[in-house]
């Protein structure tokens, strides 16, 4: 299992598009800090601007980048081949992929938290313990929301084997979804919205923490929001049938893409 997770992680983070886009996101953090510094600078402004960057740019794009990076051509087929090549069960393959994605997401948020703290220190934001605490809490709760949303997006990834749908799902529920539903004043609608959108659940959880109230019920809800899509993902992966791949006519190429390399490796493993 560990081997499978490792392989999954390294295959993902070695992708050029993942490296470039993630680097861009972190450069964005630095650029945002410089912009705040040159415009209007104090601890609260820095924390708010950073929070906005995380909410509107980092959170939705990080997941989208990850979904794009874990995508392989003929997604399900190759995932199955990969699992079988390791002599593992399919459900272990799903576990591995979910865990790998969560680890990558979690690590990216840890790097983000460190970078935010470091930049605040370097640029002299003079952040109080309270402001720092609130910002770190925000990053942590956003990270949990991102993980839950990612798992749901993964379900769509397996279902359609096409990264656009999960990316839309992910970006909407990390960005627009939480904003749209937070505007609904009616109790019932709000509760329904909260129960399906991890971002909204975590927003309420964060509010509770900031106001000295720990909400076990919201944490429980988050666990459900993780478990249900995970089980759905498992189901889809398990039910998928491995069809014989029809050879496609290809034009002569001089270069081989990363995806094709991965496919070649997994195919070779099957042969062995």
The contact set with other proteins (CB under 8 A) reads 17, 21, 39-40, 42, 44-45, 48, 51-52, 56-57, 60-61, 64-65, 68, 71, 73, 130-131, 134, 162-164, 167-168, 171, 175, 182, 185-187, 190, 200, 203-204, 206-208, 210-213
Nearer to other proteins, 18 or 230 (CB): 18
Nearest distance from C-beta of residue 211 to other proteins, angstroms = 4
Nearer to other proteins, 71 or 97 (CB): 71
CA 46 vs. chain centroid, Å, equals 24
Nearest distance from C-beta of residue 155 to other proteins, angstroms = 17
User: How far is Cα 170 from Cα 116, in angstroms, rounded to an integer?
Assistant: 24
Q: What does DSSP assign to residue 172? A: I
Nearest distance from C-beta of residue 130 to other proteins, angstroms = 8
Nearest distance from C-beta of residue 208 to other proteins, angstroms = 7
Nearest distance from C-beta of residue 6 to other proteins, angstroms = 25
- Structural contact between residues 234 and 83, judged by C-beta atoms closer than 8 angstroms: no
Nearer to other proteins, 13 or 204 (CB): 204
Side-chain-side CA neighbours of 184 within 13 Å: the count stands at 14
- Structural contact between residues 23 and 115, judged by C-beta atoms closer than 8 angstroms: no
User: How far is Cα 50 from Cα 34, in angstroms, rounded to an integer?
Assistant: 11
Nearest distance from C-beta of residue 74 to other proteins, angstroms = 8
Nearer to other proteins, 82 or 134 (CB): 134
Q: Which residues contact 119 (CB under 8 A, 6 or more apart)?
A: 29, 30, 33
Q: How many CB atoms lie within 10 A of CB 16?
A: 9
Q: How many CB atoms lie within 10 A of CB 106?
A: 15
User: How far is Cα 113 from Cα 57, in angstroms, rounded to an integer?
Assistant: 15
Nearer to other proteins, 71 or 234 (CB): 71
User: How far is Cα 174 from Cα 92, in angstroms, rounded to an integer?
Assistant: 27
């Amino acid at each position: 299992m560990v081997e499978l997770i490792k392989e999954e992680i390294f295959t993902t983070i070695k992708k050029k598009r993942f490296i470039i886009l993630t680097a861009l996101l972190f450069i964005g953090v630095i650029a945002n800090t410089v912009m705040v510094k040159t415009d209007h600078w104090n601890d609260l402004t820095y924390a708010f601007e950073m929070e906005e960057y995380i909410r509107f740019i980092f959170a939705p794009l990080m997941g989208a980048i990850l979904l794009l990076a874990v995508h392989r051509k003929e997604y399900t087929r190759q995932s199955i081949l990969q699992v079988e090549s390791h002599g593992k069960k399919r459900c272990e393959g799903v576990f591995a992929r979910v865990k790998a994605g969560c680890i990558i997401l979690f690590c990216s948020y840890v790097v983000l938290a460190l970078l935010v703290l470091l930049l605040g220190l370097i640029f002299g934001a003079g952040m109080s313990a309270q402001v720092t605490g609130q910002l770190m809490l925000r990053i942590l709760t956003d990270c949990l929301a991102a993980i839950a949303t990612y798992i749901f997006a993964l379900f769509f990834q397996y279902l359609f084997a096409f990264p656009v749908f999960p990316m839309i799902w992910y970006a909407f529920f990390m960005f627009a979804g939480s904003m749209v539903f937070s505007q609904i004043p009616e109790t019932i609608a709000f509760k329904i919205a909260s129960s399906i959108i991890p971002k909204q659940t975590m927003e309420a959880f964060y509010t509770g923490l900031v106001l000295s109230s720990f909400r076990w019920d919201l944490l429980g809800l988050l666990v459900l929001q993780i478990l249900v899509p995970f089980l759905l993902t498992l189901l889809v992966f398990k039910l998928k049938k491995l069809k014989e791949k029809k050879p496609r006519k290809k034009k002569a190429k001089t270069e081989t893409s990363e995806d094709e390399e991965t496919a070649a490796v997994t195919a070779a493993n099957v042969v062995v």
